[in-house]
Structure 1
Amino acid sequence: MRIAYLHHGGVPSVRADEVHVMRMCDAFADAGHEVTLYALRGAARADVHAYHGTRNRFAVRAVPMPSAGALGPLLRAWRIREELPRGGAPDLLYGRDPYALLAASGTAPVVYETHALRRSRAVRAAERLLFRAPGLTRVVLATEALADDYRRAFPELARSAAELVTVPDCADPPPAGPVAALPGRPGALKAGCVGRLPGRGTDVVLGLAARLPALDFHLVGGTGQDRAPREHRAHGANVHFHDHRPPSRPDPYHRAFDIALAPYQPPAGDATGAASPVTLFAYMAHGKAIVASDLPALREVLADGVDCLLRPPDDVAAWADAVGRLAADPAARAALGAAAHRHVMEHHTWRVRADRVLAGVGRPS
């Protein structure tokens, strides 16, 4: 099947959204589909496939945003529609750009994927029109919590012929490779997290470092500008910051951690924490003992005491107790990590996800 993936963001990029888009396009290509990604050009001047570590060199077409203020996304959407036939008429339109999917909706069946309930009135208006479009066949959401948010926000979904499908994020089987040579004390256990944490998530890690001085803590990711305020708040010698790594190169850090931390914080006004973070699944794929925020969205994947330990997002004392217990119990770390690895490999690989979101949609090429 010929798939046109329509995206509003830029590649290559440090953003989790763009990492997810590249992984999905790669998984579609693994499944034998011909994929073309329409996206903005990312700030980095790197080979997009090398930067993201894709297995397939699917086509990536950069469609710039016109300098037209609020009309920019609409004009770009029509440019994408005009470009679609040049690569061969697609059998399926898939993506996370409601403007472009709406503009092109009469040319092929449409699948819309979304990972957050957008606050922009303009985006919501475009989504509302898209949900009424006859070509929309499926809406893919990362969590049931997000699906519930969408049903409340868009009553017309109940009347739409489109199917709502909830499919969490995923991870690939980790490749063999080296373990990162992390700074710190020889013999000290290493607890770490990868990615751009929001401020309160960083505060949890820094609070853990202060309460558990026998452990070394590693925060991997973010630009120099991101790191500056974090480093200013770090007072202990057991805290180490590491620069952002391209999505193709975090594995040595995952391998180096004894305990993986996922202190995700719910967005303001959203107690569910509706996201399904890619990095969490990478921890699971590497078989790490995980301590994660106890959010309804994460409970859809994780089970406390089975494949992780869940603690209230901002309760540093509870987090310190959980991390301290794992630090003192190698067998518990191994058991949680093994269960997490089994779970993600059986149910949450990118190829499994690609097959699920495409099942029964599109038209054969």
Structure 2
Amino acid sequence: MKLIYISPLRYPSEKAGSLFSMKACEAFAEEGLLVELWVPRRRNPIRHDPFDYYGIKRNFRLVYLPVVDLSPLPFFYFPLALSFAVSVFVYALIRRIPQAIYYSHEEFALFLLTYLSGRTVYEIHDFPGKSVLFRYLFRRLDFVVANNQWKAPKIKERFSFPPERILAVPNGVDLAQFSIPLSKEDARQKLGLPSAGKVIVYTGSLFGWKGVNTLVEAARVFSEGVAVYCVGGGEKDSADFRKKYADISSLHLVGQRPHAEIPLWLRAADVLVLPNTAREDISKYYTSPMKLFEYMASGTPIVASDLPSVREVVNEKLVYFFEPDNVADLTRAVEDVLGNPSDAAKKSARAYTTVQRYTWNVRAKEIINEIGIAK
């Protein structure tokens, strides 16, 4: 049986969704499935091979399909999504893959595929609206995978979807990639960071719901000798942050880096911050933050926003919580970590133990078993 994973994103890209799809496909393939990842052939400022960029094994096939890509023009997404859906449908018709599993978080393409032979699995990363498309899609789907527990009962309520065909399973992490045999000092040397002083690190995008502005504002009041490094973000977002926060000398906006380099940043840090906002539902309820699992796998102490989406994975025994969007409370939590290294080490050790059950392969096995995919 072949699993066809369908994603409308750029490969590679600065968004976590692209990494997620690559890691999911790698894990499904490692569990014995024949896997293909179908993606749009889009304009891409990142000129790297996706497998090398993310450090992914070449155990599945990456297929690029033609689309109408009008980015960066406004409203480019609809023609992109529509043309991608048509390309996927036509390609599937041509291929005529027997016993295919069509697996996607892209509703347009998946809806068309429900009219072909094969099974359809919808993985939900945000939360579906009440549009006609979603109502018809949920009537035809074979299975739904939600990336956190909050969504499962809500999907049943909104779409009257059978609960026995809904699986809630969080995102995952590659433990080997983040459990690197390097000291903090060695990691800093490799990255060209000063050996002295305290280092606070955030990795990921700079979108508003990520809450990075709260961390950046806290950089104004951290103790002397504490530096903040934000690793990630697209060119425009990084440029906007540099302009807005040019007066903060302790802030370093590193920009987008290959994912294979991220473990070095996590090891080089004294504190890792997950500053998600409580002002948007995607952050408060919908997400299953991949960076949280990566932080846990690094063994470095974590400061995190106290949100329902985060508490599905961790508690006070594993991380230091702070009130979301509260600069003073984030500052307090970081100072707690720096001022209590023994307690911080115990929490990070417990977090590392806990994250062992959140690997990509554990996740893939659970999905395969629940859906009943024959290898």
Q: Shared topology, TM-score over 0.5?
A: yes
Query: What are the within-5 Å matches in structure 2 for residues 345-360 of structure 1?
Result: 345=356, 347-360=357-370
Aligned twin of 1:209: 219
Q: Distance in 1 between matches of 2:13 and 2:304?
A: 25
Is 2:200–2:228's contact at 8 Å kept on the other side of the alignment?
yes
Matched position secondary structure for 2:253 = strand
CA 76–271 in structure 1, closer or farther in 2 if over 3 Å, else same? closer
Q: Distance in 2 between matches of 1:218 and 1:209?
A: 10
Q: Deviations over 1:203-235 (max 9, x none)?
A: 211222222133211111123322222223143
CA 51–188 in structure 1, closer or farther in 2 if over 3 Å, else same? same
State yes or no: 1:23 paired with 2:23. Answer: yes
Q: Distance in 2 between matches of 1:46 and 1:162?
A: 41
Query: What are the within-5 Å matches in structure 2 for residues 16-55 of structure 1?
Result: 16-42=16-42, 43=44, 44-55=46-57
Q: Which one-letter code corresponds to 2:289 in the other structure?
A: P
Q: Which one-letter code corresponds to 1:268 in the other structure?
A: E
Query: What are the within-5 Å matches in structure 2 for residues 320-335 of structure 1?
Result: 320-335=331-346
Q: Distance in 2 between matches of 1:126 and 1:65?
A: 21
TM-score by length of 2: 0.86
Q: Which one-letter code corresponds to 1:164 in the other structure?
A: I
Gaps of 5+ in 2: 71-75
Aligned twin of 2:136: 129
Residue 132 (structure 1) shift:
0.5
- Candidates 79, 88, 111, aligned match of 2:121: 111
Q: Tell which deviates more after alignment, 354-363 or 236-245.
A: 354-363
State yes or no: 1:285 paired with 2:294. Answer: no
Gaps of 5+ in 1: none
Is 1:91–1:363's contact at 8 Å kept on the other side of the alignment?
no
Is 2:99–2:119's contact at 8 Å kept on the other side of the alignment?
no
- Candidates 30, 46, 60, aligned match of 2:62: 60
- Candidates 136, 143, 146, aligned match of 1:141: 146
TM-score by length of 1: 0.89
Q: Distance in 1 between matches of 2:155 and 2:49?
A: 36
Report sequence identity in percent: 27
CA 45–234 in structure 1, closer or farther in 2 if over 3 Å, else same? closer
Q: Deviations over 1:283-324 (max 9, x none)?
A: 0011121111111111100102x1101111111111111110
**Coordinate RMSD, CA, aligned:** 2.5
CA 219–75 in structure 1, closer or farther in 2 if over 3 Å, else same? closer
Aligned length: 355
Residue 40 (structure 1) shift:
1.4
Q: Distance in 2 between matches of 1:174 and 1:254?
A: 14
Q: Distance in 1 between matches of 2:353 and 2:242?
A: 36
State yes or no: 1:156 paired with 2:165. Answer: no
Q: Deviations over 1:173-209 (max 9, x none)?
A: 1333651435665421111110113347222112222
Q: Distance in 2 between matches of 1:335 and 1:177?
A: 19
Q: Distance in 1 between matches of 2:254 and 2:293?
A: 21
Q: Distance in 2 between matches of 1:360 and 1:165?
A: 7
Residue 108 (structure 1) shift:
0.9
Aligned twin of 1:296: 308
Q: Which one-letter code corresponds to 1:45 in the other structure?
A: R
- Candidates 273, 280, 283, aligned match of 1:268: 280
CA 34–208 in structure 1, closer or farther in 2 if over 3 Å, else same? same
